[in-house]
Structure formats: C-alpha cells, structure tokens
Amino acid sequence: MATMNVSLPNPMKDWVETQVKSGQYGNASDYVRDLIRRDQQDREQIKLLQQAISNGVKSGISDRSMLDILKEARKTANTIE
C-alpha cells in the first residue's frame, strides 16, 4: 500500500480525529479511504446519470403521451424487482 501525506487545516484535522474517536474508523487513514470510496461511487453514479440524460436527449422528441411513457416505465420497474 502506498503512503501519501496530506496537509489539513486545523478544523479539518480536528474533524477527522473526532470521526476516529467516535469508533466508526480505526484511524485517520481508514476515514480518508472511506471518503475516497464514497467519492468514487458518487462519481460513477453521476457518470451513469449523465449518460442516461445524454441518451435521452439524443433519442429526440417522443410522439407518445406522458401517460403512455409512465405506464411503460412502471411496467419496466415491476419486471426489474
């Protein structure tokens, strides 16, 4: 595992230490790794959402009614569960 030194302002350092003292994390490195994992997951979700939006824009204007689209979406959602 690689080592990285990070400088933090005192309020941020205090925050990290408080999170570790809460018992949820074993040390500051565990807390930082958790933050990075969450950031990676968030960015992946944003990327997927942006792709879905782009695909929707590229698909053009539908000639179906909102009710028809909603019915199809509900039908699809029920088959996924």
Q: What is the pLDDT of residues 19-68, one digit of tens each?
A: 999 999 999 999 999 999 999 999 999 999 999 999 999 999 989 999 99
Domain layout of the chain by residue ranges: 11-80
For the full predicted model, state whether its pTM sits above 0.85: no
Rounded to the nearest 5°, which phi and psi values hold at 29? Answer: -65, -40
Which residues are CB-neighbours of 69 under 8 A, at least 6 positions away? Answer: 62
- Distance separating alpha carbons of residues 64 and 57, to the nearest angstrom: 15
Per DSSP, the chain holds a count of helices (H) and strands (E) of: 3, 0
